[in-house]
Amino acid sequence: MAAVRDLRASEAADIGDDAVELAKRHLIQPWPYAGSVGAEARALIGEGDGIYITDSTGKRLIDGPAGMWCVNVGHRREELARVMYDQAMALSYNTPWYTMNAPSAELAKRIAGHAPGDLSHVFYTTGGSSAVETALRFMQFYNNVRGRPEKKLILSRGGAYHGSTYLSASLNGRPRDRDWMDGADELVIKLSSPDPFRRPHGMSLAAFTDFLVDQFLDTVARVGAEKIGAFVGEPVQASGGVVVPPDGYLKRIRQICRDNDILYVSDEVVTAFGRLGHVFASGDMFGIDPDMITFAKGVTSGYFPLGGVIISERLLEELRRSNHPDALFGHGLTYTSHPVGCAVALKNLDLLEEGVLAHTQDVAPYFQAQLKTLEELPLVGEVRGLGLMGCVECVADRESKDPLQLDKDVGKRIDAHCHELGLLVRPLINMCVMSPPLVITREQIDDMVGILREGISRTMDDLR
């Protein structure tokens, strides 16, 4: 043990405690490329405050993506820090196998109170991937117990992102997520993304919706409903580029799932807990009552890794009444129902209910309208979004919407210029995604959009 300590001390002295150097030597960043895996330096963030973060040079940046869609009530909320401290001092952990804690039960009650339909019970996880994984494993268990072991296939869509565990990642629909990665492909069927911007040239929105619905129906008919266990979909595809589906599409898909006994899993890891101005968007915005909703991120505003699945009372009741009362759902996580996570989530929910949701609903139209002005720039093919989710999609040519000639660097170039100007953006190849902390004001939205405009203009200059 002493030797380990000595080594660390000498290393730290060697490289002057420089976190970036330490990271290059010892940290594997998420989504690394083979050529730089374990040897990469990214911008070092030192502090956060409200909608701002400060990098290691002392530069203050607007946190355009709110971390990864998650710092909903903003950075440095003392109420949240205090609650975590108090809970850790009272009970930092209890084994969920044999005991339970009060914050997890109280939070489950309040989550169920906001959820649509008969979603009544919460299984907590450590984040979004494990929430989706849990929902899928629950579907498998449910069908096994009900004597339908064939009913396991999962419908997912292009452009989807559902996580980085094996099964959840198998659902991902962005090619670059899967190009070099394996997955449970035999279990997943991919449908088209409901992306109106990328619909076939000349097709009306109504015809596009019919096309998507027909594709779903045809797939069910071709494969057989008796083989399909679940459909998993984000109400608004987030990492796919803030894809807002055409009106009525989700309701129609929901109905087909109901008609065919296919479980509808609404992945609200991004959209829940305020991003669209509601605790859950499925019911309040899209008028659907899924069989399961997955959530994470905003549930604690990113202050603690927590996620979960809310499951329909009907499904649980069917299991309780099945012929296999002794069948074990062999699924559990050490940190399920974590008391510190649940305590901070309760306080976070207070903040949302006491004003942040109303504020989001108030500023969202302004945010969308200001972002939309960026369509004046020739590089911008479309600006789209909902609530406090927005995406600027760049194209090489507006008529053909060709993103390819500008592939790879456009988002990164805009990001680099914006960083210099005081805004962190999330580049996605030829897109920039914006999802600031929900507490952003109109003036701050002006600042953010002004910087983004300048960052895009500078990028256009680069490309000239």
Which residues contribute to the site for ligand PLP (CB under 6 A)?
Answer: 68, 127-129, 132, 161-164, 234, 238-239, 267, 269-270, 296, 307
Q: Nearest distance from residue 126's CB to ligand PLP, in Å? A: 8
- Report d(CA 375, CA 377) in Å as an integer: 5
Q: Nearest distance from residue 27's CB to ligand PLP, in Å? A: 17
- Cβ nearer to ligand PLP, comparing 267 with 289: 267
Residue with tokens 């919460």: 122
Residue pair 336/125 in contact by the 8 Å Cβ criterion = yes
Question: 425 in helix, strand or coil?
Answer: coil
Q: Nearest distance from residue 173's CB to ligand PLP, in Å? A: 11
- Cβ nearer to ligand PLP, comparing 267 with 382: 267
Q: Nearest distance from residue 268's CB to ligand PLP, in Å? A: 8
Which one, of 439, 338, 400, lies nearest residue 62 by Cα? 439
Q: Nearest distance from residue 450's CB to ligand PLP, in Å? A: 27
- Cβ nearer to ligand PLP, comparing 173 with 455: 173
Q: Nearest distance from residue 280's CB to ligand PLP, in Å? A: 13
DSSP string, 43-97: PPEEEEEBTEEEETTS-EEEETTHHHHT-TT-B--HHHHHHHHHHHHH-S---TT
- Cβ nearer to ligand PLP, comparing 126 with 360: 126
Which one, of 80, 6, 91, 54, lies nearest residue 348 by Cα? 80
- Report d(CA 271, CA 371) in Å as an integer: 19
- Report d(CA 101, CA 98) in Å as an integer: 11
State residue 238 phi and psi, 5-degree precision: -85, -70
- Cβ nearer to ligand PLP, comparing 136 with 220: 136
- Cβ nearer to ligand PLP, comparing 66 with 262: 66
**CB neighbour class for 40 (10 Å; exposed up to 12, middle 13-18, buried from 19):** middle
Q: Nearest distance from residue 239's CB to ligand PLP, in Å? A: 5
C-alpha separations of 190 from 172, 300, 368, 457 in Å: 9, 31, 30, 37
Residue showing the smallest CB distance to ligand PLP in the complex:
128
- Cβ nearer to ligand PLP, comparing 234 with 382: 234
Residue pair 307/162 in contact by the 8 Å Cβ criterion = no
Residue pair 318/124 in contact by the 8 Å Cβ criterion = no
- Cβ nearer to ligand PLP, comparing 129 with 370: 129
- Cβ nearer to ligand PLP, comparing 296 with 431: 296
DSSP 8-class letter at 354: I
Strands (E) located in 268-406: 292-295, 307-312, 380-386, 389-394
Which one, of 302, 438, 434, 244, lies nearest residue 360 by Cα? 438
Q: Nearest distance from residue 163's CB to ligand PLP, in Å? A: 4
Angle of CA points 235, 109, 169, to nearest 5°: 35
Q: Nearest distance from residue 159's CB to ligand PLP, in Å? A: 11
